[in-house]
């Protein structure tokens, strides 16, 4: 069984769904649900549910939210290496009437505690892993240590346009990079209009040292390139219940496929479809068997 270390954020997701079209600057009838979240944690849960040996290095509070994270992690065999703080980070998302993310706030300042010293304390855990997965919630100092001290393949989720820029100095040390189209435009300086622009983005990132590039384009599809090939696939129609976590599921599917020498874009898109069909941040019924069936059903 492949060993994976994920370094990144855990938070409690609070989702607000309106019953009808949102009216800005007004009270909107609706309902609220909560879920475990965080990019690092979501990727970890996906990979654990797919049968991999995963350790998540993350920050948790001394609170009931942390107990929830620990209990759910134990159920799926996800190992935790915790830096303790006073309060577990949280993420609040407000959706529109189509269950698409309208606006969100990430209260995750506590992740500053996941610093370089904490990474070095966990050197043995990290060295035992086949690959490292990280998100860009980490500080420059922490990323410096990870890219300098560890020689495994490193997969990075860019997370957001504001945080994606942080990885620019490290592109030559990244094996697999996942971005959405906005993050890709920011990182490359290329404006997306057509397939040629996607190829230009991919080529630029490959020239700067990234080995595998994944770019998601929402309802338009997804793009994957490496030094041998470039593939674009149209989005798969799906009734969306929650779009938060879909990018994390996409990347987890790609990582799972790379470890098993399968087609990464096929498994990424299939796992994203499963995620979009579930109200939680990670599909609660996900298994490697269900993912394999979904790949076949969608002819990916």
Q: What's the Rg (C-alpha) of the chain?
A: 18
Determine the Cα–Cα distance for residues 67 and 223; give it in Å rounded to an integer.
38
Determine the Cα–Cα distance for residues 244 and 163; give it in Å rounded to an integer.
17
Q: Could you tell me the pLDDT band of residue 144, with boundaries at 50, 70 and 90?
A: very high
In a domain, residue 32? The reply is no
Residue 223 confidence (pLDDT): 98
Say yes or no to pLDDT of 1 above 80.
no
In a domain, residue 94? The reply is no
For the chain, percent of residues with pLDDT exceeding 70: 100
In a domain, residue 57? The reply is yes
In a domain, residue 144? The reply is yes
Nearest to 162 by CA among 183, 176, 141: 183
Determine the Cα–Cα distance for residues 262 and 247; give it in Å rounded to an integer.
19
In a domain, residue 65? The reply is yes
Burial class (CB in 10 A: 0-12, 13-18, 19+), 10: buried
In a domain, residue 262? The reply is yes
Domains: count for the chain: 1
Residue 226 confidence (pLDDT): 97
Residue 106 confidence (pLDDT): 85
User: What is the domain range of residue 145?
Assistant: 3-9+38-88+110-297
Task: Collapse the DSSP code of 139 into the 3-class scheme (helix H, G, I; strand E, B; otherwise coil) and give the result.
Answer: coil
- Length of the chain, in residues: 300
Give the chain's largest Cα–Cα span: 52
The domain that holds 115 is classified in CATH as: 3.40.1190.20
Token pair in block for residue 14: 């609070």
In a domain, residue 104? The reply is no
DSSP β-bridge partners for residue 104: 93
pLDDT tens for each residue of 262-278: 999 999 999 999 999 88
Average pLDDT score over residue span 65-88: 97
Averaged confidence pLDDT in the chain: 94
Per-position DSSP letters for 95-126, written without gaps between them: E-TTS-EEEEEEE-GGGGGS-HHHHHHTHHHH
Q: Could you tell me the pLDDT band of residue 147, with boundaries at 50, 70 and 90?
A: very high
Q: Could you tell me the pLDDT band of residue 100, with boundaries at 50, 70 and 90?
A: confident
Termini Cα distance of the chain:
25
In a domain, residue 100? The reply is no
pTM of the full structure: 0.92
């Amino acid at each position: 069984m492949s060993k994976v270390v994920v370094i990144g954020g855990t938070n409690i997701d609070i989702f607000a769904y309106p019953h009808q079209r949102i009216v800005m600057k007004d009270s909107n009838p609706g309902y609220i649900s909560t879920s475990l979240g965080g990019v690092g944690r979501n990727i970890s849960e996906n990979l654990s549910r797919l049968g991999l040996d995963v350790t998540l290095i993350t920050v948790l509070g001394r609170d009931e939210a942390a107990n929830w994270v620990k209990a759910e992690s134990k159920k799926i065999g996800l190992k935790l290496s915790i830096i303790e703080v006073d309060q577990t980070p949280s993420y609040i998302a407000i959706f529109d009437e189509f269950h698409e993310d309208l606006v969100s706030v990430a209260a995750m300042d506590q992740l500053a505690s996941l610093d370089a010293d904490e990474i070095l304390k966990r050197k043995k855990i990290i060295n035992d892993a086949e690959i490292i997965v990280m998100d860009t919630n980490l500080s420059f100092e922490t990323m410096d240590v990870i890219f300098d001290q560890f020689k495994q393949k490193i997969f990075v989720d860019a997370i957001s346009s504001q945080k994606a820029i942080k990885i620019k100095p490290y592109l030559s040390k990244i094996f697999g990079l996942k971005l959405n189209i906005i993050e890709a435009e920011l990182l490359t300086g290329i404006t997306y209009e057509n397939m040629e622009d996607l190829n230009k983005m991919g080529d630029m990132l490959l020239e700067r040292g990234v080995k595998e590039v994944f770019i998601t384009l929402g309802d338009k599809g997804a793009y994957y390139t490496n030094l041998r090939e470039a593939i674009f696939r149209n989005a798969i129609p799906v009734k969306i219940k929650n779009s938060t976590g879909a990018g994390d599921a996409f990347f987890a599917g790609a990582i799972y496929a790379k470890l098993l020498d399968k087609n990464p874009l096929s498994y990424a898109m299939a796992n994203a479809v499963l995620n979009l069909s579930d109200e939680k941040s990670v599909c609660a019924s996900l298994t490697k068997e269900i993912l394999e069936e979904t790949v076949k059903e969608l002819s990916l």
